Amino acid sequence: MLGLGILVRLGRTVVGGALAEAGLLPSWLYRHLALAALEEDDFPGALQYLKYAEDPLLTQILVLRLRLLIFRHQRERRAWQALWQQGPSAEMREKCQDLLAQEERALRLLSGYENKGVALLAKESSSGPRSGPT
């Protein structure tokens, strides 16, 4: 199993270049690359590969994962806001503000990725089943 992981990383590095971005590889390879990117929380990479994999199920998994992360960050942001409103010390208020800013950035990024995933799903559903080699 270790050898397969090394081979996948090597293949992803080699294939991750211009050839993969051209969309010339078989869809099964893009699905595999998208799964590897998801495993590493590389959402932009997963979206790029899913564009060529044309796999609505994987895209739905990506969107679900992003929505779960968004929910978790929203919950953390609410907790930091509640702590900030309790009137802690100046040092703690500064830390809360920093963490709130980080949560806002994370939410913006994740929401952007979610929107791209939903757009990809809409495109995949409008194009219908894919013909050709898989």
Q: Is residue 26 part of a domain?
A: yes
9 and 50 within one domain: yes
70 and 50 within one domain: no
- Mind listing the pLDDT tens digit for each residue in 70-80? 999 999 999 98
Evaluate if residue 132 carries a pLDDT over 50: no
Query: How many CB atoms are located within 10 Å of the residue 99 CB?
Result: 17
Q: Is residue 59 part of a domain?
A: no
**Structure token pair of residue 42:** 């590389």
122 and 84 within one domain: yes
72 and 120 within one domain: yes
44 and 15 within one domain: yes
| pTM beyond 0.85, yes or no | no
Q: Answer for the pair 117, 59: CB distance below 8 angstroms, yes or no.
A: yes
- Mind listing the pLDDT tens digit for each residue in 91-125? 888 888 999 999 999 999 999 999 999 999 998 88
Residue whose tokens read 């293949």: 11
Could you tell me the residue range of the domain that residue 119 belongs to?
A: 66-127
Q: Is residue 121 part of a domain?
A: yes
81 and 120 within one domain: yes
